[in-house]
Chain A
Amino acid sequence: MSDDSTPAGITARLRSHIHSRTAITDHGYSTMLLAIFLGLLVGAYCSWTVADFSVRWPAFGIVGLIGIIRCYTQPTRMAVVTTGLYQLSAAIAITPLVLAGGGLYGAYTQGVANPWPTVLSEAILLVVIVFGVIATLIAGVASFLDHRYGPVETK
């Protein structure tokens, strides 16, 4: 009973619970830390992008938690990595929308009559392309790892 109350005991019970609910392969500590790191990385990125909407910390918590769970529930360490990269890629891909959305949100909340000309422009298309390229590169790395070391199994 006393062993169960130690951090190691609590972690072991948590992992046992997750395994029983997801039926996935048991991960070592290093893989678990990797999943946490990747999840928090995506959470931090999303938190940074949506700060214009005053939801910085909720975004960090929610996206980070979902990211960790999505990564941790993969069957292999490589699948954890590729899932994290795919998540990061998706977050980067939608950055221009959030950037433009922040401008729209700001304009609407301050009573600008027609805020659309400030965001619906060729400029935002260029930003979409730039971030799309970055996102594609990251997804490409994930895809390469995926095909090189085996498909990602999702639950």
Chain B
Amino acid sequence: MTGDEAPPQLSRRELLRATTAAGVVGTGVAMGRLGDKNDHDTPAKLADRAEPREYEEFAVHRVPEAYETIQDAVEAASPRDLVLVGPGRYHEEVTVSETEKLTIRGTDRNEVVLDGEGTRHNGITATADGVVIENLTAMNYTYNGVYWTGVNGYRGSYLTAANNGEYGVYAFDSVNGLFEHSYAAGHPDSGFYIGQCNPCHARIEQVTAERNGLGYSGTNAGGDLVIRNSVWKRNMGGIVPNTLDSEKLAPQAATRIENNEVRSNNNQDAPAKAFAYAAYGTGIGIAGGHDNEVLNNNVSNHANYGIAAIPMVDSSIWQPAGNLIERNHVQESGRADLALGSPNDGGNRFKNNSVSSSRPSWLHSDGMLASVFGSTGDPWVTLSQGLLYLQTELGEFPHGDWLGGPDPPEQPSMDDPERPPREAVGPRGDQ
């Protein structure tokens, strides 16, 4: 996949064609399987990682003082150099394909704006290892704001991505990465995306996603992947790790989602593609994923489900299995605070959550039903989500437009834009 190619959509359409099948399958396997299988690999193994180290030798390439465009500065830079971009609106696409460990940094996050004007594809595309993008805004691109693909080592810090046609901050087929202190709004697919990696060795921390189709989407991504201490609000759907046949490494597995604030993801005015609308009104939705951990999240005000694990129908039917949902505080959900769809592949555990409702009912009780039926799911959950899929297949779902959305609110810039560049991520403890 290159930066000029659209992210895969075809099989998602295929997925939608199978919508009715999802409901039928779910209903047909109404009783699912009884009992638990507890042979799943949770909790996920997480590697310790040291702080990124500053580079000792580097050159600074200033834009617009020394170079007219950011791309010109990138072409002139060597590995470990810093491209420091001053305030202005830059109408260009930037590609970093050869210069490893390059840092592109704005001097002011809110004043350094890459603008695709609704015609250019990607704000910044990095296909070289270890590239760091910091302290700037990318908006109005037809595909992605900031985009890494096929790299080992990446970091996006203090980024604002707004009103791009696919994703805001996006890493595909990449490992050893970090998104932090960033904001994404107005994307019809998702604000933040990490896809096709396992183990990913990646973190998403202290970010905010609002008014996107999905706040986070992670197709076939997991393994030492953590999403934590972040805010996901007013998207069409919240945090949605998912399995699709269209990308390698299915099924999605072993993502830890912890200490997040997830609220009011029912926003019908958010731009959304069909895939995103299918998660409408759900805070955290595990779509066909395995061995994920959803821990200590605060989830509220969702029209459908607070936290749900549901099957995903693509070329294959991917059933959620071995997921651990524990110590979450879920409230004010329209249909149910917790939900487990049918069919599922067992081993899904719901423990010590603070909730008032669930589908099936035994997810939030320790009584006889829970011990007898274990992680048997409820086909109603699959049916209700299938109804949303069906709506998208018929092309009649409510959503807003990505282009022309409101400008993003001012966001805090990094403390010292002149500081030396650093590694994308520090060395892992298990290396």
Which residues does A use to contact B, with CB under 8 Å? 48-49, 51-52, 54, 56, 99-100, 102-103, 105-107, 109-115, 117-118, 121-124, 126-127, 130
A109 touches which of B332, B383, B384 (Cβ 8 Å): B332
**13 A–B contacts, CB within 8 A, in A order:** A51-B359, A52-B359, A99-B383, A102-B335, A103-B387, A106-B302, A107-B303, A110-B281, A110-B333, A117-B397, A121-B394, A123-B391, A127-B23
Q: Is B280 an interface residue (CB 8 A)?
A: yes
> In the assembled complex, which residues on chain B have CB atoms less than 8 Å from the CB atom of A118?
268, 280-281, 303, 388, 391, 397-398
Contacts of B380 in A (CB 8 A): 48-49, 51-52, 99
- In the assembly, what is the distance between CA of A122 and CA of B392, in Å? 10
Q: Name 12 extra pairs, CB < 8 A, besides A48-B378, A118-B303.
A: A51-B357, A102-B334, A103-B387, A106-B302, A107-B266, A110-B281, A114-B268, A122-B391, A123-B387, A123-B393, A123-B394, A127-B390
Q: Counting CB contacts under 8 A, is B336 at the interface? A: yes
Closest beta carbon of chain A to B8's beta carbon, Å: 24
Q: Which residue of A lies closest to B264 (CB)?
A: A110
A110 engages B336 (CB within 8 Å): no
B394 & A112 in contact (Cβ 8 Å cutoff):
no
C-alpha gap A25/B264 in the complex (Å): 57
Is the pair A122, B394 in contact by a Cβ cutoff of 8 Å?
Answer: yes
- Known contacts A51-B380, A54-B357, A112-B266; is A127 also within 8 Å of B303 by CB? no
Q: Which 6 A-B pairs have the closest CB atoms?
A: A106-B334, A123-B390, A117-B398, A123-B391, A106-B303, A107-B303
Interface-central residue, B20, B264, B268, B301, by most chain A CB under 10 Å: B268
Interface of B is mostly: mixed
- What residues of A have a CB within 8 angstroms of the CB of B359 in the complex? 51-52
Contact with A along B77-93 (1 / 0, CB 8 A): 00000000000000000
Q: Contact at A112–B268, with CB atoms within 8 Å?
A: yes
Q: Which of B373-392 contact A (CB under 8 A)?
A: 378, 380, 383-384, 387-388, 390-391
Residue from the list B23, B303, B336, B396 in contact with A122, Cβ < 8 A: B396
Most chain B CB neighbours (cut-off 10 Å) among A56, A102, A123, A127: A123
Q: Give the chain A neighbours of B20 by CB distance below 8 A.
A: 126, 130
Q: Is B140 an interface residue (CB 8 A)?
A: no
Residue in A54, A99, A121 whose beta carbon sits within 8 Å of that of B384 in the complex: A99
Q: In whole Å, how far is B398's beta carbon from the nearest beta carbon of chain A?
A: 4
Distance between Cα atoms of A52 and B387 in the complex (Å): 15
B206 located at the interface, meaning its Cβ lies under 8 Å from any Cβ of chain A in the complex: no
Chain B residues with Cβ under 8 A from A51's Cβ? Answer: 336, 357, 359, 361, 380
We find that the number of chain B residues with CB closer than 8 angstroms to chain A is: 32
Chain A binding site: helix, strand, loop or mixed by DSSP?
helix
Q: List the A side residues contacting B394 at CB < 8 Å.
A: 121-123
Residue of A nearest to B359 (CB): A51
- Residue B304 lies at the interface, judged by CB distance under 8 Å to chain A: yes
Considering the chains assembled together, what is the distance between the CA atoms of A114 and B303 in angstroms?
12
**The one of A49, A110, A122 that contacts B302, using a Cβ cutoff of 8 Å:** A110
Contact of A115 with B384 in the complex, beta carbons under 8 Å: no
Q: Which residues of chain A are within 8 angstroms of B397 by Cβ–Cβ distance?
A: 117-118, 121
Chain B residue nearest in CB terms to A119: B387
State the Cβ distance, A141 to closest chain B Cβ, in Å. Answer: 19
User: Once the chains bind, are A105 and B387 in contact (CB under 8 Å)?
Assistant: no
| CA gap between A54 and B397 in the complex, in Å | 27
Q: For the complex, what is the distance from the CA of A95 to the CA of B393, rounded to whole Å?
A: 21
| A106 touching B264, Cβ below 8 Å | no
A111 to B267, CA, bound (A): 10
- Contact in complex: A124, B387 (CB < 8 Å): yes
Residue in B closest to A52 when the chains form the complex, CB atoms: B335
Q: Mark B224-243, 1 if CB is under 8 A from A, else 0.
A: 00000000000000000000
Closest to B399 in A: A117
**Which residue from chain B places its CB closest to the CB of A102 in the assembled complex?**
B335
The residues of B that contact A121 with a CB separation of less than 8 Å are: 391, 394, 396-397
Which residues of B have CB within 8 Å of A123?
387, 390-391, 393-394, 396
Smallest CB gap from B333: residue in A: A106
Complex Cα distance, B280 from A49, in Å, reads 20
| Max chain B C-beta neighbours (<10 A), residue from A54, A112, A117 | A112
Chain B residues with CB under 8 Å of A49's CB are 380
Residues of chain B lying within 8 A (CB to CB) of residue A113: 268
A124 and B386 alpha carbons, distance in the complex (Å): 11
Across-interface contacts of A102 in B (CB, < 8 A): 334-335, 384
